[in-house]
Every structure is written in structure tokens, then in C-alpha cells.
A and B are shown apart, each in its own frame.
Chain A
Amino acid sequence: MRMMLETHLRQAATVLLESAIRIAPPDTRDWGRAMAGELNYVEGPWAAVMWAAGGASVLAKQALASLFLPGRRGQGMVPDGGLFAKNASLRKAALVIGGACVLAALLFFAAPPFRQAFQVALKPWSFMFRMASGNIQPGITTLAKQAEMRHDPEGLAFCAVRLQDAHESARLAEEAVRLDPNLLWVYAIVAMRHPKLREISSWVEKLKRWDPQNALFHLITAESIVRAHFPLGVWAPPNQEQEQAWRSAMAAAFRSPKFDDYLDRVAEINRKVVPRYRFYDPYEVESRMQLDLPAPALESSERFALSLLHSGQELEARGELKGAREKYWAVARYGQVIDFQGHTEFEHWAGTYLQAMAYKPLKALSEKEGNSAEAALFGYLAAKFDPVKGEHASVPKESAFGLDTSRRNAAVVEISGLMILIFSGLVVIATSILIAGSRRSAGPTAQRAKPVATIVVLTSAVGLLFSSVTLYLTYRPYWYIFQSAILNGDRVQTRDLREFLISTQRLPGVPPRLYLLLDALLYSGSPSFLFYVWTGVTLLGVIGLALILLRHFLGRPRTNAPP
């Protein structure tokens, strides 16, 4: 058994060396055969393998050098720095390959999709640090300053509908409307995003005069009243006056023949402002597009719809069928308006849900009245719009790529971006070591570090190029979706882009529970917590790397000491 193992090991060593001889340049093949000739005399099978491995590495290096430095073919043995120095041409070949890889990786930055991909890839990491700085939307803040300097109402409107700072958002909205009164709709978006603003009541009055039939303003009023019940984050029961104000706002919304959330106007502003300021940040432009829109107000809609249906049932019980029918129809009609005129998937879903709520009692009422044809129609509509089994039950609808694909792509993009940073850092450090070691005054430590630094430059440069290619190829489809949405208004696949962008806001591999903990700590009055965590992690990494390098270079025994 042992003999067999030894035989196999020696055969493996022979095959390894013969393979290396095949790829070696012609002028070094004789040397390969010389090493192969000695293989029969090396004592011990493992020693033979090591002998073959050493010989193969020499031949492979020669092959590499002749491949990338063809002009140096046959001159690979020129002593550069002494007869016993490491082969300089091999180091140069490695540096040429490394330099080519770094150059190719840098060329990717000339491509707009790659620049955007890199920005997206670093978003979750930079977000951690920006949270501590207090300015979580630096891009929008800068753009707002530029728009103010240019007196550009569309630029101001673009920023106002996105800023998370409620007061600054209100200020920009008022400035935008002052410069261009046609932008009055901006008030509606800002009011939906920041329902606690004091300006809302005066804005709503202006909006009602501007677009009198829109249900949206009544929903905004109702939402402001609801939010007023959470003065310090704790529910405060509404008084009778507030309850009455809420009911009258909702009743007006249910009577309105129109619902416009102005998202088409926001998209129009995007198309103008994004190219004008070259603000190609998909997070700010796209991912927040539909957040904070009137979804909370639609909860009020459900509550008011239930109260209407309850009133209808009471009327029905008292035999007032006509009055009951009016109540049920009010809910169904409001649902139709929201469903047909809304822009977001949630609005369509809420509209059909409200319709289903109304069609069920309408069906029962028609049956009670003996109108079987009408009962059948309402039964069909109730089944069609059923939130669990109906045609609209699959909300949120599946995107074209699928959520799993978006999450996987997000993780690939985040890791690629991080690896680009790490590899770039390694290339810079190793290149600095090489430059320091190349000086005449360089000490023995710097000289000893040169081979390791060369390997680091080569491997890091290859890694940099690979990460860049991966990042570019993974993100490119999302770049096309973003461009189509911004330039052509094509919103077919924006859901894929939003899912992807939301996924990239989570660090890959971090469990959701940890995020809950981090969020809890972040919002518990310690805004700089994450900053310190990430700064600490980064510093520890740098210190660890420095210690490893110091130990490697200072603790290495001298092998070239003269006899």
C-alpha cells in the first residue's frame, strides 16, 4: 500500500514537471529536462513532489514572462541587482499584468452604468456613516442649493418632494410655487410626506381652489387630523370636534369624482431635472418615488368605508333599503375612483379591496329585493375583487426578475463594490512598498518586501478587474431600467429597480434581527452609534493588517546573509 502511494506520488511529480516543460519557452526546456532528470535521485516521494513543484514554478514563471514580455525572450536571466537576485523580468511581467488590470478596471469608470453601479454598491456602507453626520441626503441638499441659486422652480420642486427634513421641504415647496404657481401640486406631495406640517391647512385651501374635485386634499386633511393624535408618539383619543372634522373630510373625499396623486407630474419633473443637474442617483430619484404616498390615508378610507357599510346595514335593518344602497354605493364608487385613477399598485389594490367590501352587501340587498340579475352581477364583482381569492389577490405583484433575483443581484453588487475598494487599497499599499523598495537607500526590510508586494499587486489587480466586470454586468440591466424611466417615462420594470435598490440598503448576510437591533439603537437617541461601530471595525481591520505585515517583514529570518 505504501509502495503504491510512493509510486503514485513520484508519477504525479513526473507528470507535473513534464507538463511544465511543455508550456516552457524553448530556451528553458533543457533546464526543465535537467530538473526532471534529477527527480529519479530525490530521496523520498514527498521530497520528489516538492522538487517537481519548485521546478514547475520556475518554468511557469518563464512561460509567463515570455508571454507578457516577448521582447525579453531569451533574456530572462539578465541579472538585475546581482546574480543571485530574484528574476527582475518576472517581477516586471507581474507588474505589467497588474498595471493592465488596474487600467482596464479604471476604464470602467468611463462608462456611466459603471459609475452609477459603484455609487449604488457603496450606498449601504456610506449610509452608515452619513446617518451620523446628520445629513442623510447630501446629494439632494446640494441640488437644492444649486436650484435656489439658479431660481429654478422645477429643481426646487424635485428636492421638495424628496427631502426628509419636513421644514426644509416645506420651504423649498413654497419657493418653487412662488417662482412658478403651476407647481402648486408640490404642496400635495409634501403634505402627504409630512402630515404634521403647520402649513398644510393653508396649502389645502389653495389646492382645493386649484383642483376642486380631487379627493386627495380631503385625504390629506383627514391624515393630518389622525397624525395629530400622536403628539408624542402615543395615541391620544380624538375629541368630538376632531372626530367630526375627520368624518367630514373623509365624506368629502368619498364624494369626490376624481383622485390624482400627481405622480405623473413628479415623473415629468424627474425627466427634466435629472439630466439638467446630471443627478443620476437612482435611490433619490426612484426608490423613494412611491414611498409615503397616500397609503396611510387609505387606512382612513377603510375605516370610513366600514362605518358607511355599518350605517347601511342599520338602515337595511330598519327597512330603509334605498338609504342603505346609497351608503354601499358610496363605498363602491370611491373604490372605483381610487382603482381607476390611482397610479401605484397599492392604490389599485386598495380600490379593488374597497369595491369588494361594498359589492358583498349590495349583492345581499339585491337578493333581498328579488333582483337576481343584479345580485349575480354584484356577486361576480365581489368575487373578482376579493382580496384573498380574487384577480387582484396577488398584491404585491411579482416583478419581472423576481424578488429573489433582485436580492441576489443586490448582494453581488454590494460585495463587488466592497471588493473594488479593498483591492484598490491593497494595490496602492503594495505599489507604495514596491516604490519604497526600489530606491537605492531602501533598507533590507523594504527589499525583502518586494516579492510579496509584487504578488499582492498582481492578485489585487486581477481581483479589482474581476470585481469591476461583475459589478458592471450585474448592474447594467438596472441602469437601462432607470434610463428608460427617466428619459422615456417607461415604467414597465421600475418595480424591479425599486426591489433591487431596497435590497441594497441591507448589508448582505446580515440577519434582519440584527437590523432591528441596530435600528432600535439608532433611533433611541444615539445617532452616532453606527458611526462609531463602523469606524471601530475599520480601524481594527487596518491595525490587524498592519500587525500582520510588520510581523511578516520584521520577524522573517535573514536568508541572504553572506557566509
Chain B
Amino acid sequence: MERPADWRYGYELSRETGLKSGTLYPILMRLEKYTLLEARWVTTEDGVPPRHTYRLTPNGLELARNKLAEARPRSMVRQPAFCSG
């Protein structure tokens, strides 16, 4: 969300989100199916298989922003009474 134009690798997303491959890829597959995500193959060096990279489409970006906006008030309500935030 901070750098929406950047293409990201699957393993990189996995490390950032903490999701394992068995959980992450079905989500990516679904996002791509609904054109919320675009994917492309990139070749990094000779002899090494190409890598799949991903980034959110404008629709995906909009959906993600909406979802975050919805989630924020709920997360604030859930904060304990004596929380520093």
C-alpha cells in the first residue's frame, strides 16, 4: 500500500505478511481471478527459472483502501481503555 506501483515477489510477500505458501497463493490466485491483482513473469539471471511478480490493479488498490478504512474504526474500538494509542 505504501508503494503500490512496485512489483513484488511471492516469497517477499510471504515474509512480510507471515503467511505460508499454502495460504498466500490461494489468496493471490483469487485476487488475480477478479482482476484485483496483476501478475507477470520476470527473468532475473540466465539458467534460473523466471519469477512471478505481483502488484495490485487500480481496482485492487481501491478495494484495499476501502477495506483498511473499514477496519480502522473497528480496531480502535477494540483497543483497551488504558492503551497508549
Cβ of A133 under 8 Å from chain B: no
- Are A54 and B75 touching (Cβ within 8 A)? no
Known: A41-B11, A55-B21. A77 touches B49 (CB 8 A): no
- Are A77 and B33 touching (Cβ within 8 A)? yes
- Are A77 and B29 touching (Cβ within 8 A)? yes
Q: Interface residues of A toward B: which range?
A: 20 to 34
Q: Give the docked Cα–Cα distance between A398 and B36 (Å).
A: 75
> Interface digits, A398-416 against B, CB 8 Å rule (1 contact, 0 not)?
0000000000000000000
The smallest C-beta distance from B64 to any residue of chain A, in angstroms, reads 10
The winner among B22, B33, B39 for most chain A CB atoms within 10 A is: B22
The smallest C-beta distance from A201 to any residue of chain B, in angstroms, reads 83
Cβ of B27 under 8 Å from chain A: yes
Nearest residue (CB) in A for B39 is: A34
Q: Give the docked Cα–Cα distance between A33 and B42 (Å).
A: 13
> Interface digits, A44-59 against B, CB 8 Å rule (1 contact, 0 not)?
0000001111110110
Cβ of B80 under 8 Å from chain A: no
- Are B49 and A83 touching (Cβ within 8 A)? no
Residues of B within 8 A of A30 (CB): 52
The smallest C-beta distance from B16 to any residue of chain A, in angstroms, reads 12
Q: Give the docked Cα–Cα distance between A150 and B23 (Å).
A: 69
> Which residues of chain A in 16-48 are interfacial with respect to chain B, using CB atoms and an 8 Å cutoff?
28, 30-31, 33-38, 40-42
Nearest residue (CB) in A for B60 is: A83
- Are A58 and B30 touching (Cβ within 8 A)? no
- Are B10 and A38 touching (Cβ within 8 A)? yes
Cβ of B50 under 8 Å from chain A: yes
- Are A83 and B9 touching (Cβ within 8 A)? no
The smallest C-beta distance from B63 to any residue of chain A, in angstroms, reads 8
Residues of A within 8 A of B23 (CB): 54
Nearest residue (CB) in A for B71 is: A562
- Are B49 and A58 touching (Cβ within 8 A)? no
Known: A77-B30, A79-B34, A562-B71. A35 touches B51 (CB 8 A): no
- Are A37 and B51 touching (Cβ within 8 A)? yes
- Are A37 and B22 touching (Cβ within 8 A)? no
Residues of B within 8 A of A79 (CB): 30, 34
Known: A33-B49, A34-B10, A40-B49. A54 touches B21 (CB 8 A): yes
Q: Which of A28, A36, A41, A87 interacts with B9 by CB under 8 Å? A: A41
Cβ of B65 under 8 Å from chain A: no
Q: Which of B11, B27, B51, B52 interacts with A83 by CB under 8 Å? A: B27
Q: Give the docked Cα–Cα distance between A34 and B42 (Å).
A: 11
> Which residues of chain B in 1-52 are interfacial with respect to chain A, using CB atoms and an 8 Å cutoff?
9-11, 14, 20-23, 25-34, 36, 39, 48-52
Cβ of A563 under 8 Å from chain B: yes
The smallest C-beta distance from B49 to any residue of chain A, in angstroms, reads 5
The smallest C-beta distance from A59 to any residue of chain B, in angstroms, reads 9
The winner among A30, A42, A77 for most chain B CB atoms within 10 A is: A77
- Are B74 and A562 touching (Cβ within 8 A)? yes
Residues of A within 8 A of B21 (CB): 35, 38, 50-52, 54-55, 58
Q: Give the docked Cα–Cα distance between A50 and B19 (Å).
A: 12
Cβ of A523 under 8 Å from chain B: no
Q: Give the docked Cα–Cα distance between A86 and B27 (Å).
A: 9
Q: Give the docked Cα–Cα distance between A41 and B14 (Å).
A: 12
Nearest residue (CB) in B for A562 is: B71
- Are B50 and A37 touching (Cβ within 8 A)? yes
Nearest residue (CB) in B for A38 is: B11
The smallest C-beta distance from B73 to any residue of chain A, in angstroms, reads 10
The smallest C-beta distance from A17 to any residue of chain B, in angstroms, reads 9
- Are B25 and A55 touching (Cβ within 8 A)? yes
Residues of A within 8 A of B25 (CB): 31, 34-35, 54-55, 58
Residues of A within 8 A of B36 (CB): 83
Residues of A within 8 A of B9 (CB): 38, 41
Q: Give the docked Cα–Cα distance between A86 and B30 (Å).
A: 11
Q: Give the docked Cα–Cα distance between A562 and B39 (Å).
A: 25
Q: Give the docked Cα–Cα distance between A31 and B32 (Å).
A: 11
- Are A55 and B22 touching (Cβ within 8 A)? yes
- Are B29 and A31 touching (Cβ within 8 A)? yes
Q: Give the docked Cα–Cα distance between A41 and B20 (Å).
A: 14
Residues of A within 8 A of B34 (CB): 77, 79, 83
Known: A37-B49, A40-B49, A79-B34. A54 touches B20 (CB 8 A): yes
The smallest C-beta distance from B45 to any residue of chain A, in angstroms, reads 10
Q: Give the docked Cα–Cα distance between A38 and B41 (Å).
A: 12
Residues of A within 8 A of B28 (CB): 31
The smallest C-beta distance from B38 to any residue of chain A, in angstroms, reads 13
- Are B48 and A40 touching (Cβ within 8 A)? yes
- Are A37 and B52 touching (Cβ within 8 A)? yes
Known: A28-B29, A54-B20. A563 touches B49 (CB 8 A): no
Q: Give the docked Cα–Cα distance between A407 and B26 (Å).
A: 51
Q: Give the docked Cα–Cα distance between A563 and B9 (Å).
A: 22
Q: Give the docked Cα–Cα distance between A110 and B22 (Å).
A: 42
Known: A35-B10, A35-B25, A563-B71. A83 touches B30 (CB 8 A): yes
The winner among A36, A53, A562 for most chain B CB atoms within 10 A is: A562
Q: A55-B25, A77-B29 are in contact. List 6 more A-B contacts (CB 8 A).
A: A37-B52, A38-B11, A40-B49, A77-B26, A79-B30, A563-B71
Some 7 contacts from A to B, beta carbons below 8 A apart, are A38-B9, A38-B11, A38-B52, A51-B14, A77-B30, A83-B31, A562-B75
> Could you tell me which A residues sit within 8 Å of B by CB distance?
28, 30-31, 33-38, 40-42, 50-55, 57-58, 77-79, 83-84, 86-87, 562-563
> Could you tell me which B residues sit within 8 Å of A by CB distance?
9-11, 14, 20-23, 25-34, 36, 39, 48-52, 68, 71, 74-75
Nearest 5 A/B pairs, CB to CB: A54-B22, A34-B52, A54-B21, A562-B71, A77-B33
